[in-house]
Copies of this chain bind each other. A is one copy, B any other.
Amino acid sequence: MPTKSFFETKDYLCGEKMERTVVMQTKEELSQIIEKYLSQTSFPDEPERLYAPILYSLQQGGKRLRPLLVMLACNIFSDETAPALPCAAAVEVFHNFTLLHDDIMDNAPMRRGKPSVYKKWNQNVAILSGDAMMIYSYMLLNQAPAGLVPQILERFNRMAMQVCEGQQYDMDFENRDDVPIEEYMKMIELKTSVLLAASAEIGAIIGGASEEDCRKLYRFAIELGLAFQVQDDLLDSYGDSSFGKPIGGDIVEGKKTFLMINALSKATAQERAELRSLPGDAAVSREEKIRRVKAIYERCGVKTMAENQVKRYMARAEEILDSLSVAPERLTEMKSLVAGLLGRNK
């Protein structure tokens, strides 16, 4: 056991400083910078069961969407993105913390194709390492320019509390049969969108955006998150399986999704009974469950409904971007991210 605290040495901060940049950066360049920064994360060797799971979690990859939003938002307003890097890492670490704890709560043994932390180690390890990850995200936040720390902390804290609210609503919904679509969308906003929104907003704050533009970036990413989630619900039933996940997982698990909740409200009484009983019906094969639920989806028109909803959220998101007080060419990379996320540049 070392006698001096690792965190007194500040070795946990990535040593290498980013070079001063004077041009706008592509999202690929920013992604590389983020990946490099995250890969330099180091922790004390001991206690091994506290720190090893944090590195394991951060090394599983993922889209790094949240840190990219921080960097892109900063770059819209400033040529210099280096000061945003620790906060970019902070939102990614926070996101990964939520996954550690959510996986325990949701009994999810796999994450990104590997055993989740509570499965690879045990539950206590996942609880405590998750706690340490949350603390680590606050350590990174505190590397923002000092004068901005209270403001960034305020946004981050509010977001973090809302993410907890979203997770609690999500768990509450599992035991309810009557979730209206408005409540579902609010849950999604809390569980998913607010972290994207705070990421974009914090990037804008560090980039020196006006208060109004910061608020706009926040709203932009709320809409983006909602579009993303509804599209995710769509992909589960209608995506191609080369995407990684097997098709129909949500249907077989009886998950409440945008499609299911809307179908329940539009279906006939007989269809509704079928939608409710199918997931748990051991006599029906997986393929047959998916086929029958999707047939009801078609009849109720919820697929088209979801597609239109994604388009609406996207249109609003782009509208907000276009209303920012910056030259249009500063928006190129953010718009390219949005298009990529929603599969329009494949």
Contacts and interface: CB of A to CB of B under 8 A. Distances in A.
Query: Is chain A's binding surface mostly helix, strand, loop or mixed?
Result: helix
A101 B44 CA distance: 23
Given A142-B157, A150-B142, A157-B139, A172 B131 contact: no
Contact of A101 (B3, B5, B128, B136): B128
B127 A49 contact: no
B127 A169 contact: no
Contacts of A47: 165, 168-169, 172
A158 interface: yes
A127 B128 contact: no
B158 A7 contact: yes
A124 B171 contact: yes
A127 B146 contact: no
A139 B150 CA distance: 10
A164 B132 CA distance: 6
Nearest to A169: B47
Contacts of A162: 5, 7
A172 B157 CA distance: 32
A135 interface: yes
Most buried by B among A134, A142, A164: A164
B131 A104 contact: no
A160 interface: yes
A127 B47 CA distance: 21
A1 interface: yes
A50 B169 CA distance: 9
A231 interface: no
A150 B158 contact: no
Question: Which of under 10, 10 to 19, 20 to 34, or 35 or more describes the interface residues of A?
Answer: 35 or more
Contact of A50 (B3, B158, B165): B165
Interface string A124-145: 1001101110111011001000
Contact of A49 (B7, B172, B186): B172
Nearest to A98: B131
A23 B223 CA distance: 53
A105 interface: yes
Contact of A157 (B124, B138, B146, B154): B138
A153 interface: yes
A3 B128 CA distance: 33
Contacts of A172: 47, 49
A183 interface: yes
A156 to B, nearest CB: 8
A16 interface: no
Interface of A: 1, 3, 5, 7-8, 44, 47, 49-50, 101, 104-105, 124, 127-128, 130-132, 134-136, 138-139, 142, 146, 149-150, 153-154, 157-158, 160-162, 164-165, 167-169, 171-172, 183, 186-187
13 contacts: A1-B183, A1-B186, A5-B162, A7-B161, A49-B171, A105-B127, A128-B167, A131-B164, A132-B164, A134-B135, A135-B161, A136-B161, A138-B160
